[in-house]
Amino acid sequence: MIVYVNEKYLDENEALINVNDRGYVLADGAYEGFRIYNGKIFKLQEHKKRFQRSLNELKISYQIENEIEEIYTKLFEDNSYTKDHELFFYMQITRGVAPRDHAFPKNTPKAGVYAFLTEKKINHVAYNNGIKVCTVPDNRWARCDIKCISLVANCLAKQNAIDNGFADGLFVHDGVITEGTATNVCFIKNGVLYTHGATNRILRGVTRNFVLDLCKENNIKVVEFPITVDKLKSMDEAFLTGTTGEITPITQVDNITIGNGEVGLITKKLQASYKEYLNKYFY
């Protein structure tokens, strides 16, 4: 696979970074992941805006212009992909190379940029049948709204879920369900969609926001207010939203069956609306 590293397009086995890059030694950087449909980047402007916000919040001096589109196009061509491939595009930007020190370097280094484009198919079994998830303590830092590359807490939570026979985990902070390990989460009760508000406790998902727009189009009431763990038994439906999984139904949380244990009608309706949008604007 050909990847992009600091202005060079190289085979991934030949791609190198300086060991003093702050992204490597301090996880000092931000990233974005993009879903590709029919060769086109989904919600490009929304992703760019969030990417720039993350960089600004981390005080990384880098202004995103047209490099996302340019690097994506070059990687698409160099890897001989076609519009038939289901692709995922990843890009991260770090503060750059500097002596290891918690304080920012006095002389602003050149930012480090890495990107790759790879095949990533949607999990149709999970999409059609739903998944079982568990709750996990939300022991991350208090700036989950920044899409930074420091993800070890998310990785541990995901692996903990897998080790215990679940597909994913839902973070719980003071009894409140915040989000998934790499997704946002929504619940349905009496035809109303509930999801955690866009605070510092969650990442403001591009797919999350798109689904909320679909709710408005389908006259589904949205309440941006979190669900507590003790309310799980009363939920009719639940699903995760994310770049790679779109809308993934949840049929069970811990030992609690959601609704009747099958994919709910509103979840299916939103999935259908999602596909209608893609067919209209990407195919």
Cα separation of 212 and 239, whole Å? 13
Residue at 30: amino acid letter? A
| 107: its two tokens | 């002389």
Cβ atoms within 10 Å of 109's Cβ, excluding its own: 17
The residues annotated with a catalytic role in the active site are 147
- Continuous H helices in the chain: 22-26, 44-57, 67-78, 124-129, 152-163, 206-217, 265-281
State how far the alpha carbon of 102 is from the alpha carbons of 26, 107, 279, in Å.
8, 14, 48
Cα separation of 48 and 54, whole Å? 10
Q: Count CA within 13 A, CB hemisphere, residue 230.
A: 2
